[in-house]
């Protein structure tokens, strides 16, 4: 492995370990550390402890028991190239493991800003009066974009009495939006103001159609949560949002920008805006038989 790649993986390990610590307590189980969020927000994961030996199946079992006690998702994350032996251990311990392409940005290959079909890219302003409403709408877009649900039922009936289905759109987004809790909004506002977390959206006359975010620790940043409202897909929103988030990160002094793709097809989309695959991110959760 090239020295440059080794340095990248070391920096990624430090990022994954550092990112949750201001917002979570760390509980150690052998070769694993479980981050338990304090306050509202997305729950964190368990991952290998920096400098520890490969976690054992017993370590995984202990963490899963603790996650169940706390009512947390049984979620594990690691980088295969850094902890290659963990994949077999995790599977033997009853985890299904998603092998997600891991990509880093080549700044020289980052595509320029391009017009966005039917909308504009906007970064949410933590000081704007609309911040809470915009954040709720972006959460709803992410929920629908990641498949909860991917389509809505039309009130119209097709021939033969079958119901037509149409991709979830602005109406479903607005119905799913709801009002976020004040503590969650304030937490996001503080992190956005500090530059540790920011959200970009595709705005349109029909409201927010796509969303994505950057999480930053030091000079490393991860692009995550890029999602498009199902009715607005195939317009290039995801790629343009990703490029805009990466460019903002570079402008803010970030030296390493990375992301994980859901599969090889999605990874190819990101390579078109300047990212290059360097490895595999492993995301483990209980296999159905082990629930």
d(CA 189, CA 135): 10
* Burial class of residue 259, CB neighbours in 10 A (0-12, 13-18, 19+): buried
Pairing assessment for the beta strands 220-228 and 256-260 based on DSSP bridges: parallel
DSSP label of 288: G
Strand partners, 279: 102
**SS3 (DSSP) at 171:** helix
Per-residue model confidence as pLDDT tens for the chain (291 residues): 444 445 899 999 999 999 999 999 999 999 999 999 998 888 999 999 999 999 999 999 999 999 999 999 999 999 999 999 999 999 999 999 999 999 999 999 999 988 898 999 999 999 999 999 999 999 999 999 988 444 444 444 445 555 556 789 999 999 987 889 998 999 899 999 998 999 999 999 999 999 999 999 999 999 999 999 999 999 999 999 999 999 999 999 999 999 999 999 999 999 999 999 999 999 999 988 655
**SS3 (DSSP) at 1:** coil
Strand partners, 137: none
- Size of the chain, expressed as the number of residues it contains: 291
Pairing assessment for the beta strands 32-37 and 197-203 based on DSSP bridges: unpaired
- For residue 285, is it left (φ>0), alpha (ψ between -120 and 50) or beta? beta
Contact between 218 and 195 (Cβ < 8 Å): no
CA 58 to chain centre: 28
């Amino acid at each position: 492995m090239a020295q440059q790649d080794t340095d990248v993986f070391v920096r990624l390990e430090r990022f994954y370990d550092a990112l949750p610590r201001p917002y979570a307590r760390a509980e150690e189980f052998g070769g694993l550390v479980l981050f338990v969020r304090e306050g509202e927000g997305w729950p964190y994961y368990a991952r290998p402890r920096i400098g520890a030996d490969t976690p054992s199946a017993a370590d995984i079992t202990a963490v899963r028991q603790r996650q169940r006690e706390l009512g947390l998702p049984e979620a594990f994350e690691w980088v295969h190239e850094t902890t290659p032996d963990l994949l077999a251990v995790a599977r033997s311990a009853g985890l299904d493991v998603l092998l997600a392409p891991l990509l880093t940005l080549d700044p020289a290959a980052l595509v320029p800003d391009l017009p966005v079909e039917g909308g504009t890219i906007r970064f949410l302003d933590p000081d704007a009066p609309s911040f809470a409403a915009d954040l709720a709408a972006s959460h709803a877009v992410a929920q629908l974009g990641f498949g909860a649900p991917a389509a809505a039922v039309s009130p119209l009936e097709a021939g033969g009495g079958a119901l037509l289905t149409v991709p979830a759109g602005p109406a479903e987004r607005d119905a799913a939006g709801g009002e976020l809790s004040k503590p969650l909004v304030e937490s996001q506002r503080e992190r956005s103001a500090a530059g540790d977390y920011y959200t970009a959206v595709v705005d349109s006359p029909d409201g927010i159609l796509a969303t994505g975010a950057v999480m930053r620790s030091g000079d490393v940043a991860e692009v995550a949560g890029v999602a498009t409202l199902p009715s607005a897909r195939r317009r290039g929103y995801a790629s343009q949002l990703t490029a805009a988030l990466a460019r903002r990160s570079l402008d803010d002094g970030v030296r390493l920008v990375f992301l994980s793709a859901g599969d090889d097809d999605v990874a190819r989309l990101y390579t078109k805006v300047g990212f290059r695959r360097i490895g595999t991110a492993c995301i483990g959760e209980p296999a159905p038989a082990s629930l």
